[in-house]
Structures are given as structure tokens and as C-alpha cells.
Amino acid sequence: MIGRRSFLVTTLMAFGFAFLYIPILSMIVFSFNESRLVTVWAGFSTKWYVELFQNEQIINAAKLSLRIAAINATGAVILGTLAGFALSRFRRFKGRTLMTGMTTAPLVMPEVITGLSMLLLFVAMEHMFGWPAGRGVTTITIAHITFSMAYVTVVIQSRLSTLDESLEEAAMDLGARPWKVFAVITLPIIFPAILAGWLLAFTLSWDDLVITSFVSGPGSSTLPLVIFSKVRLGVSPDINALATLMVAVVAIGIVSAGLYMQRQERRRERDVQAALAANQ
Amino acid sequence: MSAYEPRRRGVHPVLLAELLSWIRAFGPYRWASNRFRDWGVGGRTAVIGLPYLWLLLFFLIPFIIVLKISVSDIRLGMPPYEPLLHWVEHQVVTLRVNLGNYAFLFEDPLYRNAYLNSIFTAGASTILCLLIGYPMAYGIARTSPSWRNLLLMMVMLPFWTSFLLRVYAWIGILKNNGLINNVLMAMGVIDEPIVMLQTDFAVYVGIVYSYLPFMVLPLYANLEKMDITLLEAAADLGCHPVKAFLTITLPLSVPGIVAGSMLVFIPAVGEFVIPALLGGPDSLMIGRVLWEEFFHNRDWPVASAVAIAMLVLLVGPIMILQYNQAKQGGAGGVHR
């Protein structure tokens, strides 16, 4: 059969998925392990979850990370939407090539380089203008916005490029001002993409270790910094519990997003069919 | 992303228009927008200018600073580098450029080895990613649509969970009393645990594991678009499936292979977390060297020189990626 999977491809695919999921599953399983020895099963227990929630250092770091991630995501969505809009709607302007480069380079730039360059900028700025004074939440947020807005730009740009421009043109022909067209036509249509961009930017910030290490200061330990310093000393079961909670949140989010998209798809198909039937 | 739907919207448009007119009626806003108009700054300029200025200030200028510091002398104090311009007698400006940091990188075998080792490790991991990722992408692209979404979701899920924790998971699997060794010893295959953690092997596993989604997704996007009728025609003409794959599918998927490989190779070269957590003391990679130079030796000029050297190495791959994406039409079809 053409276009169908062969037995070999199925086997290789299954192997690939096993490779992707065995580490995650092992973390989940051993987070419920009674023993401190992470790899020897000694009976079911939820004590590591209790210990996790009693660990003040981790809880505080998680709160800080949540705050930074939320501010970052909002800032990145605003700047990224503007950039994505500019790149897809304004075909030519001065320095367009440079802007394209600056919005795609952060996607692949090794984090150590971005982190180092950011820190050196902040040090130079402090030297010259006295701002930002020292490093902490502000510098972390600025650094995160800079690299995550590139991802938002890509998401928005690819959404706008598949959008039917005639809708916007029609609104413009009917006398709507550009800002109104954006607010009434474009924004509602690309809203799912904006939401996706927000979540992506949130995750990137929540997850970032390397860039944060460069630009953080005393008293601004985000969750990845705390995890990294803990993990360097060896495996600890409460980190397994933390990982399990994070996987659970992401899985719920992705599954519900998938179900929502599937429902939209079905609804659209039904609408198309209804429209076709009505026209006959 | 679903296409346009007139009846269901995320934000109520009338509400938004109302909000907008409120803002417009707001005095300071009117004043500011009139001033901007006087200067010839319209909405268009603002839309382009705001992200542009941000990126110039926080992305481009930092690289210029890195370049500058990489040719500075180290000094004690904060910031730990000498300024390039020296004011002599308030009249003459002398420029002191120190290329010694770069000479140091070339002479010291440590840096040379780290450099070559990074390229080799990233290259080999990219090939391994391709070998594992290609059948996955191919398989997903050829399943029924309902399964396809589920499988794609399963590829994306690890990507959305913490990178750090996914690397950490391998410590528990690879260490001497870890999962693999325990299972193998219980089965009686081995008597002594195999040392896997803190070896180059662990670094490969970590990189391949972490970057696999970056390989699978662009490959899938490419393979899914492929015209199946080409394969049907080949089969009708008596072509063996393997030959059809080698002469039709594989050449057509080259853009996907290039995009995926670059998306794995480029970040892998500068990887820090994986060699730091899974690698041994001698598995040197350039990202780790930069980190050590910066945080432990506090030698900012040398760290900057390492960063610039790494950038020079990556310019080629980044250009290939940009060119490949531009040819595919639109910058980001791949990252969704």
C-alpha cells in the first residue's frame, strides 16, 4: 500500500516515542517511591510531595518564577505581535532585513552567548547611566522578553501570513481607520495565536536557566536556578515530585488545547457543509 | 491554528472598539498622538519602531559590547576589563586593542579541544537525531489524521516541559545504581554496573533526547506536504518502495532535513546544561568553557572572545537555516 506505514516504520516510531517518554515516566514513577534511593522501589508514598510543599526555598523560587514568567509573557506578546504585524503587513521599510535577522537569530542563538551579551550590556548601562542598579528581577525580565519575543513574532507572523487580507481591506474600504481594523478584525482572528504565543513565552521564561544565571543577582533565584544547584549535588526525590507536577500541568494544557482545536475543526466542517446545503 | 470563523471570536470586537474609543478620548493620549503626528511619527512608525528599538538596544548592541570587551585587557575590579579608549591629557584619545585574548584561544590546547569537541559532539548528535527523528516524522505524516494530531501532541509535550528536568531525568537512568544498570543486573546480563553517567555517551544521549522534537517537527511539516501521487505513480511504474523512498521521498524532504539539522546543531554547539549535568570533567564543550571562564575565572575578556569565536563558527549554519527558511516561504512555518 502506498502512503501507509510499513511495519519497520511503525517499530522505529514506537522506539522513538519510547525514548521520549521513558525518562519522563521514570521520574513520575519514582516520585511516588518511599525510598530516598531514587532508583530502588520501596513502596508507594506521597511523602516527597509533602516535602516539596514544605520546602520554602522551592516555593519562593516558584512564586518568583511565576511572576517573572507572567510579566515576560505579556511584554513579549505586545512586542512580538507588533513585530510580527510589521514584518507581515509592511512589505518594505528601512532596515526590514535587519529586523528579520534580529527576530530569528534569538531562536537559534546559544543561550550562553545571549546571556553573556545581556549581562555585559547591563553592566555597561549601569556604568554609564546608573540603571539598572545591580541585577535582579528587572534584568531577568528584560532578558527574557528579548529572547521570547522572537518566538512570539514567529507565531504571529506565520498566523498573519495565512490570514485572508481581503477582510482587512474590506473594512478599510468601508471607512474603518487602521487601528480600528486591527482591533475589530485582525486582533480577534489572531487571538488564538496570541494566546499560544503568550503560553510559549511563559514556558520559555519559566524554564530558562542559562540566560537567567548570567543576569540574575542576589535574592533573585528563580526556580530553574534552585533546581540546578540542587540537581548538581545529585538526584533528590522531591525534584521528581516537582517534575511530575509540571508534566501533569503541561499534559492537561496540551490535551485540552488539542481537544478545543479538534472541536473547532469539526464545527467549521459542519458550518461549511451547512453553507453549501443552504446555497443549493 | 484554525482558520477565520465569523461567529466565534476570542475577544468581543464591539467591546474592544469601545475600549479603543475610550482611550482615544483620553486627553493625554490625544495630546501625545498629536505631538507624534507633528513629528511625522504615525501608527506605522510606532508599530515598527517599538520592537525595533527594543531589539536594537537589547539584542544588537550587546553583541557590539561583547566584541568590544573581547579585545580589552582584564583588570581587577568591577567591571573587570579596561576601557578601550584612554583619554590622555584631555586631548588625545588612544585606542588600545588587545588581540591577545584571541591568540590565547588559538594557542591553548584546552580551547582548541573544546572547540573541536563541540563541533564533533553537536554534529554526531545531529546525525543521531536525524536517524531517530526521520522515521518518527515519516510515520506521523503517514498515519490517519486522527492519530496524527495525537502523535504530534506527544512529540510536543516534552518540548513544553522543563528542559532542565528532562536532562535531570537521565541522571536517574544512567547512573551506576540507576534504572538501566539495575534492570541489566537483575536480568543477569552484567555483574558490574556500566559507568554511563559523566561520560561522552551520556552527553550524546542528553543532546539527542532534548533536541529530538526540533528535528521531528520541521521534518513532519515537510513530509506532510508531500504529494502522495508521486509515490503512487512510481509504484504503478513498478518501482520498489525502497527505491521510491530513496529517489522521491528523501530528495523532496531535504529542506526539512536541513531545517531540522540546523535547529539541532546550532544550539547543541553552545550547550551548557547537558555537559554540566551529564558529562564528566573532561567532556569539554565550548559553552561550558565560556561558563567556567566567566563564573569561575571571572575573566570577562576571554569569555567574550570565546563567545565571538563561537558566533563565527555558527554564522555559516545560521545563514544556511535562514536561506532554507526563506526559500520555503515565510520565516517560521516550522516552529509552530
Mean local confidence (pLDDT), B193-202: 88
pLDDT band, residue B85 (cuts 50/70/90): low
Identify the residue with better confidence: B4 or B263. B263
Please judge whether A183 and B318 are an interchain contact, meaning their C-beta atoms are less than 8 angstroms apart: no
B162/A104 touch (CB, cutoff 8 Å), yes or no: no
Query: Sign of the C-alpha dihedral, residues B133, B135, B139, B141?
Result: positive
Q: What is the nearest CA distance from A73 to chain B, expressed in angstroms?
A: 15
Query: Does B83 reach chain A within 8 Å, measured CB to CB?
Result: no
Structure confidence at residue B324 as a pLDDT band (50, 70, 90): confident
Q: How far is B107 from chain A (nearest CA, A)?
A: 22
Q: Do B262 and A108 touch (CB under 8 A)?
A: yes
Residue A38, SS3 per DSSP: coil
Percent of chain B past pLDDT 90, that is, above it, reads 24
| Domain end residue (candidates: B49, B70, B91) | B70
A245 pLDDT exceeds 60? yes
Please judge whether A108 and B267 are an interchain contact, meaning their C-beta atoms are less than 8 angstroms apart.
Answer: yes
In a domain, B8, yes or no: no
Is pLDDT of B217 > 70? yes
What is the pLDDT at residue A114?
92
What does the pLDDT look like over A76-131, one tens digit per residue? 999 999 999 988 888 778 888 888 888 888 888 889 999 999 999 998 888 888 77
Whole-complex ipTM = 0.86
b/e per residue, A69-80, with b = 16+ CB within 10 A?
Answer: bebbbebbbbbb
The torsion defined by the Cα of A103, A108, A113 and A117, in degrees rounded to 10, comes to 10
pLDDT range class, residue B265, cuts 50, 70, 90: very high
Cβ atoms of A240 and B165 closer than 8 Å:
no
Asked whether B287 and B275 are in contact (CB, 8 A), the reply is yes
Read off the pLDDT of residues A140-166 as tens digits, 9 standing for 90 and up. 999 999 999 999 998 998 888 888 888
| Residue B7 placed within a domain | no
Q: How many CB atoms lie within 10 A of CB A92?
A: 5
Confidence tier at B34 by pLDDT (50, 70, 90): confident
Specify whether B279 is located in the same domain as B130: yes
Residues 225-244 of chain B with CB under 8 A from chain A are: 228, 231-232, 235, 241
- Shared-domain flag, residues B17 and B142: no
Contact A246 B162 (CB under 8 A): yes
Check which CATH number belongs to the domain holding B217 and give it. 1.10.3720.10
Chain A residues with CB under 8 Å of B318 CB are 105, 108
In a domain, B83, yes or no: no
Query: What pLDDT sits at residue B225?
Result: 86
Domain contains B78: no
Q: Mutate which of A39, A153, A185 to disrupt the B interface (most B C-beta within 10 Å)?
A: A39
Q: Does A106 touch chain B (CB under 8 A)?
A: yes
Contacts of A178 in chain B (CB under 8 A): 43-44
- CATH fold, domain A58-223, is MetI-like fold (1.10.3720)
Q: What is the pTM of this model?
A: 0.85
Residues B190 and B124 in one domain: yes
pLDDT of residue B76: 58
Same domain, B140 and B66: no
Closest chain B residue to A214 measured between Cα atoms? Answer: B295
- Tell me, what's the pLDDT at B36? 67
pLDDT value of residue A204: 92
Which one of B154, B182, B231 has the shortest CB-CB distance to A17? Answer: B154
